[in-house]
Amino acid sequence: MGDEQMRIGVLTGGGDCPGLNAVIRGVVRKGVETHGWDVLGFRNGWQGPIEGLTKPIGLADVEDILTRGGTILGSSRTNPYKVEGGVEAIRKTLKEHGVDALIAIGGEDTLGVAKRLTDDGIGVVGVPKTIDNDLGATDYTFGFDTAVHIATEAIDRLRTTAESHHRALVVEVMGRHAGWIALHSGLAGGANVILVPEREFDVDQVVTWVERRFEKQYAPIIVVAEGAIPQGGAEVLHSGEKDAFGHVRLGGVGTWLAEEIAQRTGKESRAVVLGHVQRGGIPTAYDRVLATRFGLHAVDAVADGDFGVMVALKGTDIVRVKLSEATAELKTVPLERYQEAEVFFG
């Protein structure tokens, strides 16, 4: 599209995560400094363009947001295709505000909407965001490194209290259908058992590993993803509520497993649910750099008129992939990656 005067919109959808503000900063800096464009923020995810909730963003607005967690634009799990007249409302808002293109920062749900909007004739470029690292078209998503760092630090801290009281500690981390956070934080934290959604676990085997650890006069640390499932069981639901994309809120497997371990071993066992603490706070240096690069390359895609794509990390390079590819399937933990970790169990 060249450097003719444009106005681009940017929004952050789905769950918040560290690094969102770094993307926004990258978009604004390159959009304004390099191209002379105006940048209009839409507040609260897809709710913003549906309801006309806007926030102009200039250079001064992004001066000090690199290290801030969360998002200055707010977020939501709004699905415009579940809102009556939602897509037409977006068209109307973009026209009223003279927005020529949208940069949507989000995970599979946000980018799924971006793909459908592109099919419906609205120019969108996607940026991959999820602490779960489960988008298949990119090697890493920003937010993941920070979440793993937070979970690992928690495991390190919990180990000292577990050893002091000779108890088993079950640490529940996020991961609905992909166990990347559990696997990486478990390995980094020296966990004695790691349980992921991709592989149903045998409670008897977990108890054997726990007892083996106790026999060595050490306290067991078990890291379990919130979506992990016992053999023959089902996901332990925190509530029956579903969001606008049909996802049931999970949680509770950690507490359930801690109780099972206590009953079967006669040893004291506790559960710690890290929950949203994994999403919060200052992003790591890695996530700041990755998020910034994503923002810069998203602007490049807009400048080229290359819509319907997502910027992605392949090796150390930022490339563009079709949104249809980005949302085609989840990236889950391969069996061989999980088996690598099993040598440390027990």
Q: What is the chain's mean pLDDT, rounded?
A: 90
pLDDT the model gives residue 245: 47
CA distance 283 to 328: 28
Contact 231, 212 (CB under 8 A): no
- Quickly state the pLDDT bin for 139 (edges 50, 70, 90): very high
280 is in an annotated binding site: no
Average pLDDT in the 212-233 region? 89
68 marked as part of a ligand binding site:
no
Residues 239-247: what's their mean pLDDT? 52
The annotation status of 15 as a binding-site residue, yes or no, is yes
User: Who contacts 17 (Cβ-Cβ below 8 Å, separation ≥6)?
Assistant: 69, 129, 130, 131, 142, 143, 146, 147, 279
Percent of the chain with pLDDT over 70: 94
> String of b and e for 87-102 (b: at least 16 CB within 10 Å)?
bebbeebbeebebbbb
pLDDT higher at 54 or 238: 54
Q: How many CB atoms lie within 10 A of CB 228?
A: 27
Average of pLDDT values for 80-96? 92
Q: What is the average pLDDT across 123-137?
A: 92
Sequence-separated (6 or more) residues with CB below 8 Å from residue 6: 35, 37, 38, 100, 101, 302
CA distance 198 to 342: 14
Q: Are 70 and 29 in contact (CB under 8 A)?
A: no
The annotation status of 342 as a binding-site residue, yes or no, is no
H runs (alpha helix) in the chain: 20-33, 47-51, 86-96, 108-119, 144-165, 180-188, 203-215, 253-265, 285-303, 323-326, 335-341
- The response to whether 132 counts as a known ligand-binding position is yes
Contact 207, 155 (CB under 8 A): no
**Would you say 196 and 338 are in contact if contact means Cβ atoms under 8 Å apart?**
yes
Least confident span in 160-169, 179-188, 193-202: 160-169
Active site residue 132: yes
> Rounded to an integer, what distance in angstroms lies between the CA atom of residue 120 and that of residue 143?
30
Q: Within the chain, how many helices (H) and strands (E) appear? A: 11, 13
pLDDT digits (tens, 9 = 90+) for 245-272: 454 555 589 999 999 999 999 988 889 9
What tens digit of pLDDT does each residue of 286-344 get?
A: 999 999 999 999 999 999 999 999 999 999 999 999 998 888 888 999 999 999 999 99
Per the residue annotation, which of 132, 134, 145, 287 is the catalytic one?
132
Share of the chain above pLDDT 90, in %: 69
In angstroms, rounded to a whole number, what is the distance separating the alpha carbons of residues 178 and 343? Answer: 21
131 versus 247: the higher-pLDDT residue is: 131
Pick the closest to residue 128 from 334, 329, 323, 333 (CA basis).
Answer: 323
Residue 198 annotated in ligand binding:
no
149 is in an annotated binding site: no
Q: Rounded mean pLDDT of 2-10?
A: 80
pLDDT digits (tens, 9 = 90+) for 24-46: 999 999 999 999 999 999 999 99
Query: 46 near 13, Cβ under 8 Å?
Result: yes
* Half-sphere exposure in the Cβ direction for 165 (13 Å, CA): 12
Q: Is 337 annotated as a binding residue?
A: no
In this predicted structure, what is the pLDDT of residue 323?
Answer: 92
Number of neighbours of residue 167 by Cβ within 10 angstroms: 18
pTM exceeds 0.95, yes or no? no
Alpha carbons 185 and 146: distance in angstroms, whole number: 11
287 assigned to a ligand binding site: no
Q: Which pLDDT does position 236 carry in this prediction?
A: 60
Q: Report phi then psi at 328, rounded to 5.
A: -70, -40
At residue 27's C-alpha, the angle toward residues 328 and 122, to 5°, is 50
pLDDT at 244: 52
- Set out the domains of the chain in order of their start, with CATH numbers: 7-130+283-327 (3.40.50.450), 144-280 (3.40.50.460)
β-pair partners for 11: 104
For the chain, the straight-line distance linking the first and the last C-alpha, in angstroms and rounded, comes to 58
In the prediction, which pLDDT does 207 show? Answer: 93
Residue 49, Cβ density class (10 Å: 0-12 exposed, 13-18 middle, ≥19 buried): buried
Residue 292 marked ligand-binding: no
